[in-house]
Chains A and B, each alone.
Chain A
């Protein structure tokens, strides 16, 4: 794992990726602190971070697009398969390297509140609490990016899908206000989601029975709930959309609450997507 980790880290600084990622993140946070902390003279650094998290939509896909897609394109994944290391080690090594690139930048950003505190009262606790959440959210999004990159051998495609998915996640709370909140609407939407998930399961496993079984079980479950306890489905869809938003949980920190459940949520999301990446890499062996 350390071999993959060191190799990846070296590759990031060999190519432009790490620098582009860093430049965008620092520029955005820089503009944010200029607007809030300097011009508006607000002493809350967390507002800058809540402004800056929009930049994730672009920079996370830029950072993660090549991580596995490029290996496939250059056929270097064959080397990784033939080396005496497991795919879990490969994914973890790559992920840790990405986290380190991200952490280096956060270390620079960490200095900002300290600098501002020289000139006035800055709420350092909320600032650093939000920074920690900023790190956790970024880590979850990077894991999502790794998974998307593992699905294709085209970097551009990986970046495009990544931007779309993160953007959707960013706006999912605003969008949730527009979707139907009736029970029937929820049932229809849930069925569509279940069918889509079934389609993905079929694509990944090529196992028809598993996909049909999955769809059947969930749709029957949803219909049963609909007929016996309609009230539970009221407003379910907007609820789910809001719950899935990684960004929404970050704003809790911005408001000054150190929410441990959100951190657990981010960690779970990261582990989930890394697990899927391992499966996606492993699946190439079984095509």
Chain B
């Protein structure tokens, strides 16, 4: 469907994309994952013909995006990072313009505009000025624009950034829905989002492809073992003694004692983390000590993400992510 071959992009002397190659197959939802400044937007801009490449080719269904721009662009719908909206217009007017520019006329134009308005659920604001719309609605109008002309591939650049939790959930549901009829590529720096929606993940760091696989396979690649965090009504020494009896526990690290209880972080090498937690529970009950809390922390894509992107340079600084999402989010974001 889309083939990207040896894509390289320099901004002056700055290397933004470095010899990137991958193939996008039809009928999947692809997540484009990477820290800020990794080259996600640059790559997407090149794939959609908004930017030239210093070297390399992008082909959409065999059409080169620069040589046969007209044919290639008809196969793509693109929502840039900032939705390209004309503020003085209403969504209905705006969508008619984009539809016309995509070559739709007359009845087909009307049908398509109605169709995308229905799909993105912007019917109630269709005659309000875009400048008066909330960010969530603007994003939807942007997505509606990308859907016009029924393109095979839809490329969305960080479609959930800056939205509130409910809007984020709605947009994610919309992306999932789109994935049924279209090939969708969307970028994000939020892992749980990509994990939840995509069936293929492209991880990109420093302009290079760091990983490209299904989420499940990526998790399997993880090197860091699973962890169990426990809080017990016992002294640290006692806990050590008790856990010496438990099977599958390879390492015990006590955390600083703040309350009368003790918290410890256990590591296991057993592939089924429940086997390890069962043995911990049984060891405590045998000794008659109370196990107050037990949290299982499975190795996740976050670890892989940090692992893959941290190696990319000494200038990466972990930073607290201020996501308002209700799901456990990436707590660590790597920013240039």
- A and B interact physically: yes
Chain A interface (Cβ < 8 Å from any Cβ of B): 2-4, 6-7, 10-11, 14-15, 74-79, 81-86, 285-287
Which residues of chain A come closer than 8 Å to B71, judged between CB atoms?
84
Query: Which residues 79-96 of B have a CB within 8 angstroms of A?
Result: 80, 82, 84-89, 93
- Is B76 in contact with chain A by the CB < 8 A criterion? yes
- Is B101 in contact with chain A by the CB < 8 A criterion? yes
Of B46-54, B279-287, B326-334, which stretch is located at the interface? Answer: B46-54
Q: Which residue of B lies closest to A76 (CB)?
A: B84
In contact, A79 and B145 (Cβ under 8 angstroms): yes
Q: Which residue of B lies closest to A7 (CB)?
A: B97
In contact, B87 and A15 (Cβ under 8 angstroms): no
In contact, A14 and B101 (Cβ under 8 angstroms): no
If A6-B100, A84-B102, A84-B103 touch, does A79 touch B52 (CB 8 Å cutoff)?
no
Q: Which residue of A lies closest to B104 (CB)?
A: A3
Q: Which residue of A lies closest to B51 (CB)?
A: A285
Which residues of chain A come closer than 8 Å to B76, judged between CB atoms?
82
Query: Which residues 32-89 of B have a CB within 8 angstroms of A?
Result: 45, 48-52, 69-71, 73-74, 76, 78, 80, 82, 84-89
Which residues of chain B come closer than 8 Å to A2, judged between CB atoms?
100
Which residues of chain B come closer than 8 Å to A11, judged between CB atoms?
86, 88-89
- Is B308 in contact with chain A by the CB < 8 A criterion? no
A4 vs B85: C-alpha distance when bound (angstroms): 14
A75 vs B87: C-alpha distance when bound (angstroms): 11
In contact, B50 and A78 (Cβ under 8 angstroms): yes
A10 vs B97: C-alpha distance when bound (angstroms): 10
If A3-B97, A287-B11 touch, does A79 touch B84 (CB 8 Å cutoff)?
yes
In contact, B82 and A75 (Cβ under 8 angstroms): yes
In contact, A76 and B73 (Cβ under 8 angstroms): no
If A75-B80, A76-B84 touch, does A82 touch B101 (CB 8 Å cutoff)?
no
In contact, B86 and A82 (Cβ under 8 angstroms): no
- Is B98 in contact with chain A by the CB < 8 A criterion? yes
A206 vs B70: C-alpha distance when bound (angstroms): 28
A79 vs B101: C-alpha distance when bound (angstroms): 10
In contact, B70 and A84 (Cβ under 8 angstroms): yes
A7 vs B88: C-alpha distance when bound (angstroms): 12
A3 vs B69: C-alpha distance when bound (angstroms): 18
In contact, B88 and A79 (Cβ under 8 angstroms): no
In contact, A84 and B51 (Cβ under 8 angstroms): no
A285 vs B48: C-alpha distance when bound (angstroms): 11
A71 vs B78: C-alpha distance when bound (angstroms): 17
Count A/B pairs, Cβ under 8 Å.
71
CB distance from B237 to the nearest CB of A (A): 62
Q: Per a CB cutoff under 8 Å, which of B48, B86, B93, B102 touches A74?
A: B86
If A11-B88, A76-B85 touch, does A83 touch B80 (CB 8 Å cutoff)?
no
In contact, A4 and B101 (Cβ under 8 angstroms): yes
In contact, A83 and B101 (Cβ under 8 angstroms): yes
Which residues of chain A come closer than 8 Å to B84, judged between CB atoms?
74-79
In contact, A285 and B52 (Cβ under 8 angstroms): yes
In contact, A10 and B93 (Cβ under 8 angstroms): yes
Which residues of chain B come closer than 8 Å to A287, judged between CB atoms?
11
In contact, B85 and A82 (Cβ under 8 angstroms): no
Which residues of chain A come closer than 8 Å to B52, judged between CB atoms?
285-286
A286 vs B86: C-alpha distance when bound (angstroms): 24
Which residues of chain B come closer than 8 Å to A6, judged between CB atoms?
97, 100
Q: Which residue of B lies closest to A79 (CB)?
A: B84
Which residues of chain B come closer than 8 Å to A4, judged between CB atoms?
101
In contact, B98 and A79 (Cβ under 8 angstroms): yes
| Given contact pairs A81-B50, A82-B78, A83-B73, a sample of 18 additional A-B residue pairs in the complex whose CB atoms are under 8 Å apart | A6-B97, A10-B89, A74-B84, A74-B85, A75-B80, A76-B84, A77-B84, A78-B45, A78-B80, A79-B98, A82-B49, A84-B71, A84-B101, A84-B102, A86-B69, A86-B70, A285-B50, A286-B52
Q: Which residue of A lies closest to B149 (CB)?
A: A84
CB distance from B83 to the nearest CB of A (A): 8
In contact, B88 and A82 (Cβ under 8 angstroms): no
In contact, A74 and B87 (Cβ under 8 angstroms): yes
Q: Per a CB cutoff under 8 Å, which of A3, A10, A77, A84 touches B73?
A: A84
A15 vs B88: C-alpha distance when bound (angstroms): 8
Which residues of chain B come closer than 8 Å to A85, judged between CB atoms?
101
In contact, A14 and B48 (Cβ under 8 angstroms): no
A-B contact pairs, 12 of them (CB 8 A): A2-B100, A3-B101, A7-B86, A7-B100, A11-B86, A11-B89, A74-B86, A75-B82, A76-B85, A83-B73, A84-B73, A84-B102
Sort A-B residue pairs by CB-CB distance and give the 4 closest, nearest first.
A3-B100, A79-B84, A3-B101, A84-B73
CB distance from A76 to the nearest CB of B (A): 4
Which residues of chain B come closer than 8 Å to A3, judged between CB atoms?
97, 100-101
In contact, A82 and B50 (Cβ under 8 angstroms): yes
A54 vs B93: C-alpha distance when bound (angstroms): 37
A76 vs B98: C-alpha distance when bound (angstroms): 11
Which residues of chain B come closer than 8 Å to A78, judged between CB atoms?
45, 50, 78, 80, 82, 84
CB distance from B85 to the nearest CB of A (A): 7
